[in-house]
Amino acid sequence: MTAQSSTGSESTRPDFGANEWLVEEMYERYLADPSAVDAAWHDFFADYRPAAGPANSVRQAPSTGAGDDEEEDEPQAGVAPAAAQNGHAATDGTSGTASTTAAEPAAPQADSQQATAQPAKAESPKTEPAKAEPAKTEPAKGESQPAQDKPAPSQPAQATPAASQPASTQPAAKPSSTSPAVPSGAQVSVLRGAPARVVSNMQASLEIPTATSVRAVPAKLLADNRIIINNHLRRARGGKVSFTHLIGYAVVRALRDYPEMNNHFAVNADGKPTVVRPEHVNLGLAIDLPGKDGGRSLVVASIKSAEEMDFASFWGAYEDIIRRARSGKLAADDFAGTTVSLTNPGTIGTNHSVPRLMAGQGTIIGVGAMEYPAEFSGMNPDALNDMGISRTMTLTSTYDHRIIQGAQSGEFLRRIHQLLLGEDNFYYDIFGSLRIPYEPAIWLTDREFSHEGQIDKGARVIELINAYRTSGHLMADTDPLEFKIRTHPDLDITKHGLTLWDLDREFAVGGFAGQKLMRLRDILGVLRDAYCRRVGVEYMHIIDPEERAWIQQNIEVKNDALSREEQKHILSRLNVAEAFETFLQTKYVGQKRFSLEGGETVIALLDAVLAAAAGYSLDEVVIGMPHRGRLNVLANIVGKPYAKIFNEFEGNIDPGTAQGSGDVKYHLGAHGTYVAPDGTE
């Protein structure tokens, strides 16, 4: 009845949904010590008034009365205001009849309530008496005033023992009609803060009539493309893409085709049911955080306007949310406005999840664990690969049945399934946004070549290795100025009759990379590292087979990551090369200097060559160079003093170093002693 009176104030504060408990907990810390909360929250908390409920039973009530804030966090629950204001008893999520349900047991319990009013006050000394709050909204047969004076229970579990029990145990028995008798010797604890808000949220979620669609999706292509992506990121800019990143992006893409899954149900000011169609997709991420005393807590922060992002932007926004959640830096806007949620209990091995749907959302997607079907759990992994059996994951769509029908939810999951199998260039778009210059793996059925006259797969693998030796340099990433996905038909495994199902199968390779048997995935890794990265190698035109074999033995090897010290040494070489060129450009503007800009890696490369030469005890190395980069090599490799080079820029050239008339600074040579990083000269 009176629940509609609170709708006018709901619009004045954000709807934090399932995160309400966290906001109220932070507000309590803010009241105690503003410096304990991130400064981004200070402006928000300055005029914030939490909704009355179990999480704020020990908080000071506003002097103007709490009627303006009541039930704002649960506009759809329909809880009577008196119940919502009654301290720990606001977890009841009944609708329509909430006020009469609360009032009926009040009459026979009036004596016991008044008799225990003073102990309840003593139990909660920090609670300010809400003097006039329920009087405005709850005319419950004259019994509302005693209930206001004690923010403990409005409905004790049993009338007979209520007076004899200590007041501190009464709030635990709030659900008077359903709570069983407490066994003797059992410990009873009052739920406060986050646990109490969870109770309130779960009670409110019972008001939403939900249904769930379930779909099993093969995870083979998803896993293989994730490996390709992360291998590239490891070699390039760093970072790591998870399965949830890819699945979350597929959910956002699917919402473009099924926008009705982004809608949610609401009741307008006239009490009429409505459908709300948000302007943007705000994807909520369920984040499990370690709580106090070793417990766990769940927050839901959302990526705003996710439908407008490419994958690189989505990945960055996702990681930013997770990073700020771990460090406690989430702001109020991160919690508000979630339209669709994604939860992934599969990370802890859960196969199938039916999560609760909160008010203000129409759909929540659950992702299960990636496992082989149970009937194959005892098989050898090699046998599974030979049979072409993939891991699968279960996707669930729990939706509000008032506005979304089962067919719509099922088609939505089917669309996610199609995208995860690569339809509509899903993986091509991801690779392009991350600037990965290779084609993704594609979904194909397994192929068998067992009939007479067909070339078996072992011979096809040898043919693929030879194709990389001949044409691999055509896919090398040697253009730093332009990005494009490089392909060549001779290097496409599908052109050789192979598919993604062969990647984890072993083949005889006859000594390739020093091995007799290798998985196709490892074979491709060695070939691409040798021929298709930042350096292209072309040598198959060499006639002498021994020379070709020597090159193959030295470049067709597995590349191990450099140690941290080696990486820091290379970085220092690049830094000195860049600093030298920057100084010359700034100091001697307009003078010819044949800069090395854009090719500073030459310094690191020459440094590595000379270090190897020192390791082999070579006495002398003679370097012949063009004009381009000569000064940088003289300064940072040969060791010519900077002062001498700068004097030459001033026109002070030593006549004894000139090799003829008209010689200039970038013609001059020098002698020096090179010292390797290990101290060898």
**Residue-by-residue DSSP string for 480-501:** TT-------GGG-GGGGT--GG
Classified as helix, coil or strand, 363 is: strand
Burial of 99 (0-12, 13-18, 19+ CB in 10 A): buried
CB 318: neighbour CB atoms within 10 A?
Answer: 23
Q: Is 16 exposed, middle or buried (0-12, 13-18, 19+ CB in 10 A)?
A: buried
3-state SS, residue 390: coil
d(CA 7, CA 68): 10
- Provide the pLDDT for residue 452: 78
* CA-to-CA separations, 113 to 122, 178, 383, in angstroms, rounded: 14, 19, 70
276: helix, strand or coil: strand
pLDDT for 51:
61
- Supply the pLDDT for residue 255: 97
pTM for the full model?
0.69
Whether residue 627 lies in the annotated active site: no
Residue with tokens 């922060």: 301
Helix (H, G, I), strand (E, B) or coil at 267: strand
Read off φ and ψ for residue 215, nearest 5 degrees.
-145, 135
Spatial CA neighbour of 316 closest among 249, 264, 260, 378: 249
Report the candidate in 302, 359, 280, 274 with the shortest Cα–Cα distance to residue 78: 359
Cα–Cα distance for residue pair 193/20, rounded to 1 Å = 10
User: What is the per-residue pLDDT for 549?
Assistant: 94
pLDDT of res. 180:
75
Site of tokens 């594609």: 442
Q: What is the dihedral of CA 327, 328, 329, 331, to 10 degrees?
A: 150
Closest to 163 in 3D by CA, of 211, 109, 242, 244 = 109
Are the beta carbons of 328 and 291 closer than 8 angstroms?
Answer: no
Task: State the virtual CA torsion across 301, 303, 307, 311 in degrees, nearest 10.
Answer: -120
Structure confidence at residue 630 (pLDDT): 84
- Pick the catalytic residue: 42, 245, 352, 401? 401
Our separate counts of H helices and E strands in the chain read 24, 10
Whole-number Å distance between alpha carbons of 634 and 666: 9
What are 339's strand-pairing partners? none
Nearest residue to 341 (alpha-carbon basis) of 276, 285, 410, 274: 285
Whole-number Å distance between alpha carbons of 327 and 342: 21
DSSP H or E stretch at residue 195: helix 193-205
Q: What is the pLDDT of residues 19-75, one digit of tens each?
A: 666 777 777 777 888 777 777 777 777 777 766 544 433 333 333 333 343 333 433
Q: What is the pLDDT of residue 666?
A: 56
Residue 39's pLDDT is 76
* DSSP state for residue 185 in the 8-state scheme: T
Rounded CA-CA distance 93/80 in Å is 9
Confidence (pLDDT) at 594: 77
pLDDT computed for residue 653 by the predictor? 61
Give the pLDDT confidence of 144-157 residue by residue, as tens digits: 444 444 444 444 44
CA distance 4 to 223: 50
Please give the pLDDT value at position 606: 93
Residue numbers in the chain where pLDDT is lower than 50: 1-12, 53-176, 660-663
Distance between CA atoms of residues 663 and 660, nearest Å:
6
Q: Which pLDDT does position 296 carry in this prediction?
A: 74
Q: Are 574 and 562 in contact (CB under 8 A)?
A: no
Q: How far is CA 619 from the centre of its chain?
A: 54
Q: Which residues contact 260 (CB under 8 A, 6 or more apart)?
A: 362, 403, 404, 408
How do beta strands 340-343 and 296-303 pair?
Answer: unpaired
